[in-house]
Amino acid sequence: MQDVTAVVNDVSDLDFEGWACPVPLRDIPSVVMGHGGGGAMSGELIEHLFLPAYGAAAAAELGDSAVLTVGSGTRLAFSTDSFVVKPMFFPGGSIGDLAVNGTVNDLAMSGATPLFLSTAFILAEGTALSDLGRIAQAVGRAAEDAGVRLVTGDTKVVEHGSGDGVYLNTSGIGVIPPGVDIHARRALPGDAVLVSGDIGVHGVAVMSCREGLEFGTTVESDTAALHGLVAAMLATGTGLHVLRDPTRGGVSASLNEIARASDVGIELVERLLPVPPAVRDACSLLGLDPLQVANEGKLIAIVPAEDADRVLAAMQAHPLGRSACRIGSCVPEHAGMVVAKTGLGGSRVIGLPIGEQLPRIC
Amino acid sequence: MQDVTAVVNDVSDLDFEGWACPVPLRDIPSVVMGHGGGGAMSGELIEHLFLPAYGAAAAAELGDSAVLTVGSGTRLAFSTDSFVVKPMFFPGGSIGDLAVNGTVNDLAMSGATPLFLSTAFILAEGTALSDLGRIAQAVGRAAEDAGVRLVTGDTKVVEHGSGDGVYLNTSGIGVIPPGVDIHARRALPGDAVLVSGDIGVHGVAVMSCREGLEFGTTVESDTAALHGLVAAMLATGTGLHVLRDPTRGGVSASLNEIARASDVGIELVERLLPVPPAVRDACSLLGLDPLQVANEGKLIAIVPAEDADRVLAAMQAHPLGRSACRIGSCVPEHAGMVVAKTGLGGSRVIGLPIGEQLPRIC
């Protein structure tokens, strides 16, 4: 985790090219790891640097995925993600699987059917072609499994020492079926909060193969393409309000984002959280919160309470949602905040992570 | 230029994960700078590594831009490009302008109206936020100038020493108007070869600010969005066969690609090539061929001979095509090859560059 948690926001007047931009970026003059963590610092970079600098050319939100209308009313989802995970190969997958599934999932979270993917590689000089080949095979297999076509690409090479191994950007296009309207702004008080399975697995899997970190049990990444699960949920005909794949920043970052966007409170029941023993052990060893650890094959769904059982049944009938469960509710109290009921009857605030617990996990 | 020009192709049986792939990658076991140069080695990486590894999931061609049909027949152009130019700021522009214009131009080269762009940053820890702000401003201005919306994005951070400064991927979506059919396969013998202006300017501009390389004259990058020029050309109602923006690998790489894809010969007239004096001087000083130096605001057009004058007039009436001119023809002889008629009445083969003359120019 970044050591900036104690620093309060402050306005430093960075002046780039004559344009004084108030950047409440915690008085840090340069990029730190936390800016890439998907938490509060990532949000600040978007809000206080990218959006003001982009000006009129930027869409009002610069989210994980955009919904666009083209031609005679066809609604597209469009998403981009760069992957810099280290190591490139880890238990249960590689940067190749992650890059395909990550973008497929970003598209699926707006209810889109993912169709087309681009792959753009930045390679460090000296990377073994056999490693690149294995990664490209993983990309091909994951795309075939997900039913998406790899239609365009790009390759750049940087000098040895200017990059490590392989960075891989995937961007994707999907089509949103008529009538589907899923958005982080749509959560309502009373809605049920569901999760499709065990949390924290991907982050712990990557951690387990970092130098010097070994746990008794091998944990394999949960990387998977979730659009099939989403299709099964949509087929129930119920009103899905919000879907999110809790990657960087974990469940905590996704729920905080939803609570703020919808201006509702979210109340989790701690004993209902599906944290597998290996993840719980690894997290207590390292002092991490499983709610902040990344997932790459899980989704959170916010649905009307009366539909929760039907949606849960559809999830549990799908291979990727077998241990789906309800973990909490949206409430009218503490709007914009996520709170967990603890085992002892108390409650604790689940804050938006500041930087990141574990860098380079995707 | 890579020092591999003298190495003949050879098959080395790289075996990634049990799958023996014959990779005629010049007996090199690892990535070299030339794999990112847009020349023969880039082509070999696509043909002999990416396409076999991707398998059934890959489109038959994995080009700079794909044409996709969605909904009720809407044709989209979809393109991706990562930018790793060094230095990030150079005379006439920055990585920010380049990243917008480069993807806008890839879309425009299939006749599409560019509409939506994503921006995905990979930042090295320690990059000054003021530099990032200047780059983001350049992105915003270039997008506004080009009339495209920045709709989605991503930011990752890598440790200091794992990347230098800012890498920026842009992916883009455009809509292709009905009736427009522009493709590298459509050149025919007899067609005229046009270029929209002076060549080699971007490459020399970037070179001029690299350490230890200084020329008498300042050359500014020609980076520009070309879709307005393309629209003016389409408005003539003539049959445009091929458009290409000759970036990495220069005019030489683009024309070789067209000659091969269309199975025609291309004959250039050397004295007609618009090489400005500053580019000519820099190239002779460094032993480079201006035909292989990158451009970022120029296009090549292949048009039926009878339409050439009308298309040229439309180009010359546009600010970005004022010095457009005809530089040669497509011919039935030497199919797949590009040949230049020299001033002395002889001719020389203009080969596809092997690696790259100058790395990291985009």
B16 and A46: CB-CB below 8 Å?
A: no
Q: Please report the pLDDT score of residue B13 as a whole number.
A: 46
B171 and A118: CB-CB below 8 Å?
A: yes
More confident of the two residues B221 and A356: B221
A50 and B144: CB-CB below 8 Å?
A: no
Q: Please report the pLDDT score of residue B348 as a whole number.
A: 92
Within chain A, all domains assigned CATH 3.90.650.10 are found at: 184-349
Q: Which residues contact B88 (CB under 8 A, 6 or more apart)?
A: B94, B95, B131, B135, B165, B166
The DSSP secondary structure of A161-182, one letter per residue, reads: TSB-SEEEEEEEEEEPPTT---
Q: Which residues contact B188 (CB under 8 A, 6 or more apart)?
A: B241, B262, B264, B304, B330
Report the chain A residue with the minimal C-alpha distance to residue B137.
Answer: A53
Report the chain A residue with the minimal C-alpha distance to residue B132.
Answer: A49
pLDDT in tens, A91-145: 999 999 999 999 999 999 999 999 999 999 999 999 999 999 999 999 999 999 9
The DSSP secondary structure of B121-159, one letter per residue, reads: EEEETT-BHHHHHHHHHHHHHHHHHHT-EEEEEEEEEE-
For residue B62, the chain A residues in CB contact (below 8 A) are 150-153
CA–CA dist B199, B325 (Å, integer): 11
A118 and B79: CB-CB below 8 Å?
A: yes
B28 and A129: CB-CB below 8 Å?
A: yes
Neighbours of A153 (CB within 10 A): 26
Average pLDDT (B247-253) is: 94
Between A and B, how many residue pairs show a Cβ–Cβ distance under 8 A? 343
For residue B56, the chain A residues in CB contact (below 8 A) are 140, 144
A171 and B120: CB-CB below 8 Å?
A: yes
Best residue of A118, A135, A164 to probe chain B, by most B CBs closer than 10 Å? A118
B83: left (phi over 0), alpha (psi -120 to 50) or beta: beta
Integer CA distances (angstroms), B156 to B121, B166, B299, in order: 6, 10, 33
A57 and B30: CB-CB below 8 Å?
A: no
More confident of the two residues B264 and A351: B264
Q: Please report the pLDDT score of residue A26 as a whole number.
A: 59
Within chain A, all domains assigned CATH 3.30.1330.10 are found at: 65-175
Nearest CB to B136: which of A37, A54, A81?
A54
Distance from the Cα of B30 to chain A's closest Cα (Å) equals 4
For residue A84, the chain B residues in CB contact (below 8 A) are 122, 156, 158
Q: Which residues contact A287 (CB under 8 A, 6 or more apart)?
A: none
Report residue A23: phi and psi, to 5°: -115, 100
For residue B360, the chain A residues in CB contact (below 8 A) are 158-159
CATH class label, B65-175: alpha beta
CA–CA dist B83, A167 (Å, integer): 12
CATH architecture of A184-349: Alpha-Beta Complex (3.90)
pLDDT in tens, B146-176: 999 999 999 999 998 777 789 999 999 999 9
Q: What share of chain B is helix, strand, coil (3-state, %, to 5)?
A: 30, 25, 40
A154 and B53: CB-CB below 8 Å?
A: no
Complex confidence, ipTM: 0.92
A120 and B171: CB-CB below 8 Å?
A: yes
For residue A19, the chain B residues in CB contact (below 8 A) are 137
CA–CA dist A119, B171 (Å, integer): 10
* Token duo for residue A73: 């009313």
Q: Is the pLDDT of residue B3 over 50?
A: no
pLDDT in tens, A247-272: 999 999 999 999 999 999 999 999 99
* Token duo for residue A172: 């994707």
pLDDT in tens, A182-215: 999 999 999 999 999 999 999 999 988 875 666 6
Nearest CB to A72: which of B57, B72, B133?
B72
CA–CA dist A202, A204 (Å, integer): 5
Q: Please report the pLDDT score of residue A215 as a whole number.
A: 66
Neighbours of A305 (CB within 10 A): 14
Report the chain B residue with the minimal C-alpha distance to residue A176.
Answer: B71
Distance from the Cα of B284 to chain A's closest Cα (Å) equals 26
Q: What is the percent of chain B with per-residue pLDDT over 70, rounded to a whole number? A: 91
Q: Please report the pLDDT score of residue A211 as a whole number.
A: 56
In which band, very low, low, confident or very high, does the pLDDT at A356 lie, cut at 50, 70 and 90? Answer: confident
B155 and A35: CB-CB below 8 Å?
A: yes
Distance from the Cα of A70 to chain B's closest Cα (Å) equals 8
In which band, very low, low, confident or very high, does the pLDDT at A63 lie, cut at 50, 70 and 90? Answer: confident
